[in-house]
Amino acid sequence: MTKGTVVSALKRLVGEGLLDHERYGTPALTEAGRRRALRIYRRHEHLTFLFTGLLGIPRLKGEEIACLIEHNLDDESESRLLLLTDYLAQGMREGTDWAQALTRRLSESASLPRPLAMLEPGGEGRIMRVTAEGPLRKKLLEMGFVPGKRVLFRKRSPLGDPLELELLGTRLSLRRSEAATVWVCPAEGECSPCVL
């Protein structure tokens, strides 16, 4: 941090009425400045708690993410996020059924649903849902891309797109953009439902 950076930052804060600063004097926060600082601090603490305490992300990483988010959050999103955090924390303290299920699900983080196009060739998945719209959606569903069916990603075309899949005993070809609308889970084990 250079002297210039500090000076220009101070000037900006003074300009916004958040800081009192006489030349060569000690800078002091104004009343408005103090309120703003406290609000960001509260946000930071809440977010850090959400990421580390509830979602189980390591302390340092959690704080880093909280730092990234806290400055870009508007008031409404903040208050809703705080209420959610509060509710989750309460449920976990009391050990309710849903909170236990949530904790279990969180520990199986590998089972996140993903678009079919994200699998590697040779990979297999169980279909969760189709997010395409209009005629393509209907076509995919009626071709058998329905929840529960297994689909095998066989290979990519020599130029990388389209993809060759195997579904219900037939080889099908889908463009990557089309395959991105089919959400799958790993072929084995539990998978969180997709709420998209």
| Residues found near another protein in the complex (CB under 8 A) | 129-130, 135-144, 146-149, 155-162, 164, 168-175, 178, 193-195
Between 122 and 158, name the residue whose CB sits nearer to another protein. 158
Q: In whole angstroms, how close is the CB of 158 to another protein at the nearest point?
A: 4
- What residues does 185 pair with on adjacent strands? 126
Least distance in angstroms from the C-beta of 193 to another protein: 4
CB of 131 vs another protein, minimal distance in Å: 10
Nearer to another protein, 62 or 125 (CB): 125
Provide, rounded to whole angstroms, the least separation between the CB of residue 183 and another protein: 10
Closer CB to another protein, 11 or 155, in the complex: 155
Tell me the DSSP string of the chain: --HHHHHHHHHHHHHTTSEE--TTS--EE-HHHHHHHHHHHHHHHHHHIIIIIIT---HHHHHHHHHHHHTS--HHHHHHHHHHHHHHHHHHHHT-HHHHHHHHHHH-GGG--EEGGGSPTT-EEEEEEE---HHHHHHHHHTT--TT-EEEEEEE-TTS-SEEEEETTEEEEE-HHHHTTEEEEESSS--PPP--
Q: Shortest approach of another protein to residue 166 CB, angstroms?
A: 9
Residue with Cβ nearer another protein (34 or 139): 139
Instruction: Enter the tokens of residue 156.
Output: 């990519």
d(CA 127, CA 63): 35
Min separation Cβ 121 and another protein, Å: 10
- Which of 88/130 has CB closer to another protein? 130
Q: CA-to-CA distance for 44 and 183, rounded, in angstroms?
A: 34
Q: Which is nearer to another protein, 64 or 166 (CB)?
A: 166
Q: Which amino acid is at 78?
A: E
